[in-house]
Amino acid sequence: MPVDPMLQGLVAGFAVEAQEVVQKVTMDLLELEREGLETDALTRLYVRLGRHLHTLKGSAASLGMQDLSDIAHKLEDALAPLKANPQKMPRPVVDILLHGLDLFLLRAQAHADGRGEALPDPAAALAQLVADAPPPEEAAAMVAASGAWPPSPRRLRPRSPCPCRTRCRSPRTRAGACRRGR
């Protein structure tokens, strides 16, 4: 079925906007991993992060991209318990959010390129994200008990190369947010 050129232009603009919003989310996630943030700072970061995810969800839905709206909604759901009780974000939750953002951006670009109709249903990938995510209380308890972050969940796709080769994951590298890479 032919796509309205005006709508396709809006979708292409959305893909660019989504990349910018994902960069902001990635920077907020980096900040939420830091030690020693006070409750007020954590609360502000979680509110801003929630606002960014909500923007992605609403913009995608307004353009008829329900798959992207569903992904952003799942990411909001993963964030909600931590937003209600601000704390340093556990590494497994950060990884889940980054995987979800990767999936979101890949699908947004496919829509912008006119390949949205050919995309597989994201239900399996969303189910995997949810299955890999430990409940926030469990992740926080694991961190407190061991003093170290638990192992990351299985990755949906390989990491992007980065000069620092330590903590970078693809959205960070794409966002230019690697603090260790030169």
pLDDT at 47 exceeding the cut of 60: yes
Residues 129-150 have pLDDT tens digits of: 667 666 656 655 644 543 434 4
Domain boundaries, the chain: 5-175
Class of domain 5-175: mainly alpha
Higher pLDDT among residues 81 and 120, named by residue: 81
Q: What is the pTM of this model?
A: 0.69
Mean pLDDT, residues 166-170 taken together: 47
Residues 96-126 have pLDDT tens digits of: 899 999 999 999 999 999 887 777 777 777 7
pLDDT at 141: 60
pLDDT at 137: 62
Burial tier of 166 (Cβ tally within 10 Å: 0-12, 13-18, 19+):
exposed
Token reading at 98: 């980054």
Which of 39-53, 78-92, 111-125 reaches the highest mean pLDDT? Answer: 39-53
